[in-house]
Amino acid sequence: MRALSTGPISRWLIDSSLYRSVVRHGVADTNRNRSLVVFENLFLHVHPVKVRQKTLRFTHTYWLGGVAFACALILIATGILLMFYYHPSVPQAYRDMKELSFVVDNGTFLRNMHRWAAHLMVLASFLHMLRVFFHRAYRPPRQFNWVIGVVLLIVTLLLSYTGYLLPWDQLAFWGVSVGTNMAKEAPLLGEKVRFLLLGGNIVSENALLRFYVLHCVVLPVALLLFLSVHIWRVRKDGGVQGPPDDTPGQEEVR
Amino acid sequence: MSSMPPLDVVESSDPMATPRRVALVRPDMRPAVRMTDEPYVMTFPNLIIREIILFQIVVVGLAVAAMLFDAPLEGIANPLETPNPAKAPWYFLGLQELLHYFPPVVAGVLMPVLVVIALVVIPYARINLSAQELWKGAGAGRLAAVIGVASAIVLLFAAFGCWPIVVPTACVALAMLAARGGGDGGAIRTTLARVTLPEWIMLWFTIVAAILTIIGTFFRGPGWTFVWPWAAAAAG
């Protein structure tokens, strides 16, 4: 592939000592510099420098993990913007929804984007899990990454569920009431877990505050931590694994 | 192995003077790299560019969806006014549908816990690691086991009147039986014959979960009675 930017101005910029103090390598027109792009970057170095060509095929992964990850980034961006307009208190939380609709510029768009990205993330995570299962990509050496994936699916569901309460409308209130009533039925700990989660015996403004803290701090941090390990392990375990018949050696693994 | 440099054999009585490398290769643990001739490409730009394009597609797709469809917002929360039916988010409606047939401790706690445990142990179960076609080299014992387990599941859930599980279970069991000896049958039977036991189980779980979720989302009205989606839409 042709180097991405080789005009005289970008050349001058890339060769300047200021730019080089930030990015140590030159234009990515040699395989050496292309390697440096990946492994001198904190974020890109979750990837190996080279990948198997087959893994780029659409049918290899259907890019489902990528869709879920893209949703996570969109949710963080839109979520931070939404936090500027939101008070986790009753009844201000509901009034803030109305503010978003009628006062804030593009407020409706922001909330819609956050909502649909959340649904897509849950769906893409489910489909990603099915894809990995039917491609038998959970087998050694990838067993532990499958377990991290299950944890990530649960964290994703909890994120979506805690966010469900925040608008404080009828849908939110009763959806969360139905769910937390189920938790109550767990033997021994059920009642106590529900009390801890809601900060009381019913869904009230204490519950709203707790769900807000879980949704905006605790669970996103957990998601980012597990997500980092999950993606890093993909490289450590030998890259993404596609349909089972594409690497004959894998069939022998016991 | 053809690219190995020629080995120089040096004979000496002093072992310290001639360092040697000894490699012991057991035939069952050959460190030979699998598929050494597989082509590799540079991650940058090949993979990175694709990831950026994927991200842009997701952003544009969601932005279009966000412009076309508004997120739902009902009246302010009112603990005194229970909507009928009160529904959880869609991904929990499969569980809520189960609540209709089973006591809450079974539907709300036991079943989800069992599902999570089953998902976690998948990569550690021997049956998954040595995945074979279900009927490959199978005797009468496996046939009896498949029929026995499927019948047990059908009878168990039928006893609770849980037809959204009974019907797909029976269908999957019939498909499993149809796959028997289907290696040289039609295209569908040939495909079915290649399915392994863990794949059958996951297929069954996915179908059941999807059917429960769809029924809970679209076919349940006031008092969790069965309604047609268009009837619910007209009433709502």
Q: Which residue of B has its CA nearest to A77?
A: B59
Please check whether residues B49 and B119 belong to one and the same domain.
no
Number of structural domains found in chain B: 2
| Better-scored residue on pLDDT, A182 or A45 | A45
Per the prediction, chain A carries an average pLDDT of 90
Task: Give the closest residue to B196 by CA, choosing from A126, A245, A150.
Answer: A245
Separation of alpha carbons A206 and A172, rounded Å: 15
* Mean pLDDT within B158-183: 90
* Mean pLDDT within B164-185: 88
pLDDT band, very low/low/confident/very high, at A252 (cuts 50, 70, 90): very low
In a domain, B55, yes or no: yes
Please check whether residues B214 and B103 belong to one and the same domain.
yes
Task: Give the closest residue to A97 by CA, choosing from B122, B3, B6, B77.
Answer: B77
Task: Give the closest residue to B101 by CA, choosing from B169, B171, B159.
Answer: B159
Please check whether residues B110 and B156 belong to one and the same domain.
yes
State how far the alpha carbon of B6 is from the alpha carbons of B1, B2, B3, B23, in Å.
11, 10, 9, 16
The residues, ordered by sequence, that sit 6+ positions from B60 with a Cβ below 8 Å of its Cβ are: none
| Better-scored residue on pLDDT, B205 or A253 | B205
Determine, for residues B73 and A171 on separate chains, whether the beta-carbon distance falls below 8 Å. yes
Determine, for residues A178 and B86 on separate chains, whether the beta-carbon distance falls below 8 Å. yes
Q: List the helix and strand counts (H, then E) for chain A.
A: 12, 1
In a domain, B35, yes or no: no
pLDDT of residue B188: 85
| Better-scored residue on pLDDT, A222 or B21 | A222
Please check whether residues B133 and B212 belong to one and the same domain.
yes
Please check whether residues B113 and B219 belong to one and the same domain.
yes
Please check whether residues B99 and B213 belong to one and the same domain.
yes
**Buried-exposed string A38-66: b where 16+ CB fall within 10 A, e elsewhere:** beeeeebebbbbbbbebbeeeebbbbbbb
State what percent of residues in chain A have pLDDT above 70. Answer: 94
Please check whether residues B156 and B225 belong to one and the same domain.
yes
Helices within A40-169 (DSSP H only)? 58-61, 64-83, 92-102, 107-134, 143-165
- pLDDT at position B223 over 80: yes
Interface test with B, best of A52, A102, A115 (most B CBs within 10 A): A115
Q: Are A238 and B40 in contact (CB under 8 A)?
A: no
Please check whether residues B98 and B148 belong to one and the same domain.
yes
Cβ-based contacts of A58 with chain B (< 8 Å): none
Domain locations along chain A: 59-242
Separation of alpha carbons B8 and B6, rounded Å: 6
Determine, for residues B129 and A171 on separate chains, whether the beta-carbon distance falls below 8 Å. no
* Mean pLDDT within B178-188: 78
Q: Give the CATH number of domain A59-242.
A: 1.20.810.10
In a domain, B50, yes or no: yes
Predicted confidence (pLDDT) per residue in A78-105, tens digit: 999 999 999 999 999 999 999 999 999 9
> What is the domain range of residue B62?
41-69
Separation of alpha carbons B223 and B84, rounded Å: 6
In a domain, B14, yes or no: no
